[in-house]
Amino acid sequence: MDAKIVFLGTGGDAVVIGKGLLGGGGFVLKLGDVQFHIDPGPNSLADAVKSKVNIRANTAIFSTVYDMLHFNDVNAVIAAMTYDGFDKKGVFVSTEEIIENVLLNKSKRNVERVISLNQDQRLGIEDIEIRTLPLNNKAYGFGLKFITDRFILSYSSDTEYSRSVAKSYEDSDILILNVQQPGDEKAGGMLCRKDAEKIISIVKPKLTVITHFGLRMWKADPIYEARELQRATGCQVIAAKDGLTISPLSYSARSKQRRLMF
């Protein structure tokens, strides 16, 4: 199975994206012929072109939190994915709030399925099991865990730290954390580097990737913050950058299958 993770945009607040310091396109998980686009924020289409990602290949789009950095371009991505409805295809997965208030009726018609999920639910797409994870955040939404026959990947979305949230990432080979703030600086509903340190120490994944950087994190240098995390936890940690591609199979420890069929 060919597999890769492509970070289209790593911006985590309106300032870094608005000034063009970082992109807002979210990331793509490609597993063979299956392609998931997670949290297509501002400039997703342009970010995809820069990263040589074919939006037409999307199997499903996920928007995890009711925030424009996570849903801003969902309608544009669906239009590009379906040739504006000429080729009806794909699945949109999100919260009821986003489906009702953000997704255009035309977009709903242009995809094959629209799926509303809450935290702690499961679905299967092709042979991949997907679980929604809890958030410690006033904004309603969910994190994601992708379970394949080769590796498990968890994505935090926007959340504050709690032990229960951290425990939901257990068994992950790869962990993608939205770490908006450097050091121990706090911002409502978001992780800082010290929060990420506690999570990584509990989960002990083979690889952690930090992304979704705010202005203070950008100024502090995400690479430095990732090195500090690696030093403190003894686990491999890297900072994403716009266009970064990772092979998740390099961090696989599994040949067994964990699937949910429906």
Q: Which residue type is seen at 61?
A: I
Question: Over its length of 262 residues, how does the chain's per-residue pLDDT go in tens digits?
Answer: 789 999 999 999 999 999 999 999 999 999 999 999 999 999 999 999 999 999 999 999 999 999 999 999 999 999 999 999 999 999 999 999 999 999 999 999 999 999 999 999 999 999 999 999 999 987 789 999 999 999 999 999 999 999 999 999 999 999 999 999 999 999 989 999 999 999 999 999 999 999 999 999 999 999 999 999 999 999 999 999 999 999 999 987 653 334 333 3
Which residue segments constitute the domains of the chain, with CATH numbers given? 3-251 (3.60.15.10)
Based on the number of CB atoms within 10 Å of its own CB, is 50 exposed (0-12), middle (13-18) or buried (19 or more)? middle
Using only C-alpha atoms, what is the Rg of the chain? 17
